[in-house]
């Protein structure tokens, strides 16, 4: 997203957290970004201790911190954070002050003690493809979505806007959980599981719709880029699909998550399955057989083969 903003002609400061020095070092030397495998010329870089300087004069903030770190980063940023839109690509659910699973924008508002002017950036947007200029369709959600679109949309980045931040955020959080379940079929059966994956994809959309509505969102949001689009790309080619594939081959989920984490491969699906299951339970949403099966395998140690064979819906 920093590259997108720079390509749109904006003056961009790329700030790295206290964990990001290994990625900033080569960029600062004019070498390729170690994960994107391309150069990022024209970006001003800022280290962890330079957060206040990085935010000075900002008219738009893009937050790409993962869900585990977003509260701490914004807590540190709060004294210097200007009253501008925050475009967040962070996906997940967090525990709020009421001790139940909540949307990230609500938890961030509690952390900052004010309206964070949050714009959630949803949709199928793999970072490497966005940076390399591949056609991408995103959905910006929130009351400042139009201004964020004006700043970042254009060229290869197509942006739709909506005021349904509840629906968009829930889609983003849930798709990681369901993509893990779809990936299980790749490991359990192999490439010739097209029927099963298609059936579970359709069921995942139905269950996401029920959970979005329970969160106060709109059902139609699930049928756009935030829901169908993002689930498709994550299930087709993502870390959470790979996580599910290894589980489908019979590897214990906790060991797969630990191994992938040690290799720097963040597996949002592991936590997303637990938080989605908790969210559904706390809001009394029942009749979610696919989510129940995924949770049983990943968090309760159920046999993956028997669980997948016993799936019934429709």
Angle at Cα 293 formed by Cα 288 and Cα 295, nearest 5°? 95
CA–CA dist 79, 82 (Å, integer): 9
Task: Count other C-beta atoms under 10 Å from residue 97's C-beta.
Answer: 10
Question: How is residue 154 annotated by DSSP?
Answer: B
Asked if 78 and 112 count as a contact pair (C-beta separation under 8 A), the reply is: yes
Instruction: For residue 175, indicate whether it is catalytic.
Output: yes
Work out the angle between the directed axes of helices 165-188 and 239-248 (0-180°, nearest 10): 40
**Helix/strand/coil percent split, the chain, to 5:** 55, 10, 35
Catalytic residue (choose from 126, 149, 175, 263): 175
Residue pointed to by tokens 């339970």: 281
- For the annotated catalytic residues, the residue numbers are 175
């Amino acid at each position: 997203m920093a590259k997108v903003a720079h390509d749109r002609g904006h003056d961009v400061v790329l700030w790295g957290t206290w964990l990001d020095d290994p990625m900033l070092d080569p960029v600062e030397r004019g070498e390729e970004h170690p994960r994107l495998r391309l150069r990022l010329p024209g970006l001003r870089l800022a280290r962890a201790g330079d957060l206040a300087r990085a935010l000075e004069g900002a008219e738009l903030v893009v937050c790409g911190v993962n869900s585990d770190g977003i509260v701490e980063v914004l807590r540190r940023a709060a004294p210097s954070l200007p009253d501008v839109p925050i475009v967040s690509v962070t996906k997940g659910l967090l525990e709020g002050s009421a001790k139940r699973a909540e949307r990230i924008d609500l938890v961030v508002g509690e952390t900052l003690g004010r309206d964070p002017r949050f714009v959630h950036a949803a949709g199928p947007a793999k970072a490497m493809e966005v940076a390399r200029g591949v056609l991408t369709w995103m959905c910006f959600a929130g009351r400042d979505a139009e201004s964020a679109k004006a700043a970042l949309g254009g060229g290869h980045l197509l942006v739709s806007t909506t005021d349904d931040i509840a629906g968009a955020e829930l889609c983003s959080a849930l798709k990681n959980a369901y993509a893990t379940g779809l990936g299980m079929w790749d490991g359990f059966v192999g490439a010739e599981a097209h029927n099963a994956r298609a059936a579970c994809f359709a069921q995942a959309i139905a269950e996401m719709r029920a959970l979005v509505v329970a969160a106060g969102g709109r059902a139609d949001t699930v049928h756009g880029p935030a829901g169908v689009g993002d689930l498709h790309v994550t299930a087709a080619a993502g870390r959470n699909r790979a996580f599910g594939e290894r589980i489908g081959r019979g590897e214990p989920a906790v060991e797969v998550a630990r191994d992938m984490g040690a290799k720097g491969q963040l597996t949002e699906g592991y936590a997303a399955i637990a938080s989605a299951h908790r969210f559904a339970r706390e809001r009394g949403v029942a009749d979610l057989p696919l989510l129940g099966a995924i949770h049983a395998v990943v968090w309760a140690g159920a046999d993956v083969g028997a669980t997948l064979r016993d799936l019934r819906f429709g």
